[in-house]
Structure 1
Amino acid sequence: MGDLHPLPEFSASTADDFQGTMRSVALEDTAINDMWASSSVSTRGTLQRAFASLDESFSAYIRRRRLEEAAEALTVTGSRLSVSEAAALWHFTDSSHFIRAFKKQYHATPAQFARSLT
């Protein structure tokens, strides 16, 4: 009996296509789920394999993009976005997790980072 759901062939360009798609969405869980539903990729594991040839996993890419968006929002002139609001807006489980991830990427807490650029 043949495979009902053959795995698509992946290359770096496939991962690039998904990265382009991810840049165009708000990086919300619902948008990511919509992307899965509209693609030929049946599972996250399949996409993880597509990213395997790159320097960054799919999960790391999503986390990095969310942190980049948060960093940009925190440094907008006149922004009154709190760290807790930023954590919730970019789908981190809580403020502590967001602060740790942010500090790992930017070597400063979100508040320190915002103060240094405003």
Structure 2
Amino acid sequence: MKDFLFMISAWVIGIMTGALIFFSSHNTGKSLQLSTGNYNIVHIMDKSEDISEPRQELLVSTMNNPTKHLFVTVSEKCFASYFAGAELLIINNDDSCIWTTTRRPPSPEFDIP
């Protein structure tokens, strides 16, 4: 009986791990394109390896909900004006970007391993 329960629990863990890997790989490949607005910068991700889509990926939070984090991309033109230490990104109607050092409102800390 003990072996049977161990086998069932191992099977359930395997199925759950497989489902987690399957769904996370399908969701992480897609990023939202940022639209006009203000965004708190949580983390700057590594440059995309895909040469056909030269975009910079960011982890941001919105002004309305600083606890909800989104993976987004910005254009090369926008990212060209980025400077180290920027904490707020403002995207204007003409797709120009302003990077500043002040978050509004402050976003909670978010640890990236």
Q: Provide TM-score, normalisation by structure 2.
A: 0.28
* Bigger fraction of residues in helix: 1
* Bigger fraction of residues in strand: 2
Q: Provide TM-score, normalisation by structure 1.
A: 0.27
Larger radius of gyration: 2
